[in-house]
């Protein structure tokens, strides 16, 4: 993990291009297989990012939309919606060069600690073949609903034993 302290700051409209780059990085392997021109891939990714961004803000207007910062550099984003009974991890994306360094785990564990101290569960959707699913399973998240491409997973102190 980077030696720099990991901090979160509120996402602003100035962060939209960075958030788009994160989104595109998460879909890079999928786009590599698409038989499209670079311009077509860019147009598709920008369209999908816009739809996702609009969906999140419409469905979760009071969520915390935050940028992950390490050593003064923006390295990721984490979107979390908190209700009375649940902490919903809507999105967590880290730039490729910062992945597999424990940053995502640290952020998820912080949500788990928050949930444990407030008697709530943590819930998230993850794609079936997303490597992060292994992290969630290792941390004690359990699948509760198969939604086709995605699986709904939950963690709570009670379920973790």
Contact 25, 51 (CB under 8 A): no
Is 142 within 8 Å of 153 (Cβ atoms)?
yes
Which structure tokens are listed for 117? 């101290």
Q: pTM higher than 0.85 for the full model? A: yes
Position 1 in a domain: no
Sheet arrangement for strand 64-70:
6-10, 64-70, 73-82, 86-94, 121-127, 150-155, 142-147
Q: What 8-state DSSP symbol labels residue 96?
A: G
Give the per-residue pLDDT at 143. 94
Number of domains making up the chain: 1
What's the Cα-to-Cα distance from 43 to each of 1, 31, 52, 81, 84, rounded to whole Å?
Answer: 34, 12, 14, 29, 39
CATH number, domain containing residue 15: 3.40.630.30
What is the chain's Cα-based Rg?
Answer: 16
**pLDDT by residue (tens digit) across 144-154?**
999 888 999 99
Let me know if residue 109 belongs to a domain: yes
111-146 pLDDT, tens digit per residue, is 999 999 999 999 999 998 888 899 999 999 999 999
Strand partners, 85: none
Q: Residue 89: which domain range?
A: 6-160
Select from 112, 49, 48, 116 the least CA-distant residue to 80: 112
Mean pLDDT by 10 residues, the chain (161 residues): 78 96 92 93 96 96 97 96 96 93 94 95 92 92 90 86 54
């Amino acid at each position: 993990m980077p030696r720099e302290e990991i901090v979160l700051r509120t996402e602003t409209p100035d962060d939209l291009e960075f958030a788009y780059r994160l989104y595109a990085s998460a879909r890079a392997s999928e786009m590599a297989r698409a038989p499209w021109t670079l311009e077509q891939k860019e147009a598709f990714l920008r369209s999908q990012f816009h739809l996702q961004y609009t969906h999140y803000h419409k469905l979760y207007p009071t969520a915390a939309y935050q940028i992950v910062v390490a050593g003064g550099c923006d390295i990721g984003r984490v979107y979390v919606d908190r209700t009375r009974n649940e902490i919903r991890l809507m999105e967590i994306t880290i730039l490729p060069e910062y992945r597999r360094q424990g940053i995502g785990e640290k952020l998820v564990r912080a949500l788990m600690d928050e949930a444990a101290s407030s008697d709530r569960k943590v819930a998230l959707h993850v794609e079936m073949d997303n490597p992060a699913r292994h992290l969630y399973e290792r941390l004690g998240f359990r699948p509760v609903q198969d939604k086709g491409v995605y699986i709904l997973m939950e963690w709570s102190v009670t379920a973790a034993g």
